[in-house]
């Protein structure tokens, strides 16, 4: 029998903050149809996501950088694009913002899925690593939900634009 995969104090803090960020992102999507970084919910999502990425950098379960670290960098690059889309992309800004902010949530869920399935249940985790078939299926399902969600957002935004035009 192998040792349980314990979390460090930083790992526990990182996990709590990341779960709150993920929940806020989902609530924003479900209540507002998008993650708007100008809204209170969106600002909380952005700040907690940044803190999640920063606290994730020193965590190295394998002793070296992993895909999760690179996703953190990508998320930190994407967040300002989503936040300042209205200054950069003109008429397309609302679409770019919706897609970019949804992408940050999608990318945040990838390490969440991997960490959850490789750690739980503690006595016998469901997966052994990122290449495990159960993780691959979960990420594929997540990708499908992401694509459908982004398409839905774009359609809703287009419909709203036609109504106001």
- Determine the pLDDT at residue 1: 39
3-state secondary structure the chain: CCCCCCCCHHHHHHHHHHHHHHHHHHHHHHHHCCCCCCCHHHHHHHHHHHHHHHHHCCCCCCCCCCHHHHHHHHHHHHHHHHHCHHHHCHHHHHHHHHHHHHHHHHHHHHHHHHHHHHHCCCCCCCCCCCCCHHHHHHHHHHHHHHHHHHHHHHHHHHHHHHHHC
Looking at the domain assignment, is residue 13 inside a domain?
A: yes
In a domain, 4, yes or no: no
pLDDT of residue 5: 62
pLDDT digits (tens, 9 = 90+) for 83-113: 999 999 999 999 999 999 999 999 999 999 9
Contacts of 17 (CB under 8 A, 6+ apart): 48, 51, 52, 55
For the chain, residues with pLDDT lower than 50 are 1-2
Q: Does a structural domain hold residue 143?
A: yes
Does residue 3 lie within any of the structural domains?
no
- Residue 2 inside a domain? The answer is no
* pLDDT attached to residue 60: 79
Note down the domain range covering 141. 9-164
pLDDT at 63: 77
Count of structural domains, the chain: 1
Evaluate whether residue 140 is within a structural domain.
yes
Question: Domain for residue 47, yes or no?
Answer: yes
């Amino acid at each position: 029998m192998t040792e349980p995969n314990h979390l460090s104090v930083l790992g526990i803090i990182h996990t709590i903050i990341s779960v709150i960020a993920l929940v806020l992102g989902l609530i924003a999507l479900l209540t507002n149809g998008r993650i708007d970084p100008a809204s209170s919910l969106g600002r909380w999502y952005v700040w907690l996501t940044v803190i999640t990425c920063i606290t994730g950098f020193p965590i190295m379960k394998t002793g070296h950088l992993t895909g999760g670290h690179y996703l953190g960098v990508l998320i930190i690059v994407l967040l300002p694009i989503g936040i300042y889309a209205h200054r950069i992309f003109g008429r397309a800004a609302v679409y770019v913002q919706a897609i970019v902010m949804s992408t940050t949530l999608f990318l945040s869920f990838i390490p969440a899925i991997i960490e959850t399935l490789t750690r739980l249940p503690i006595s016998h985790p469901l997966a052994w690593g990122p290449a495990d078939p159960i993780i691959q299926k979960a990420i594929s399902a997540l990708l499908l939900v992401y694509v459908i969600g982004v398409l839905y957002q774009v359609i809703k935004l287009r419909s709203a634009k036609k109504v106001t035009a």
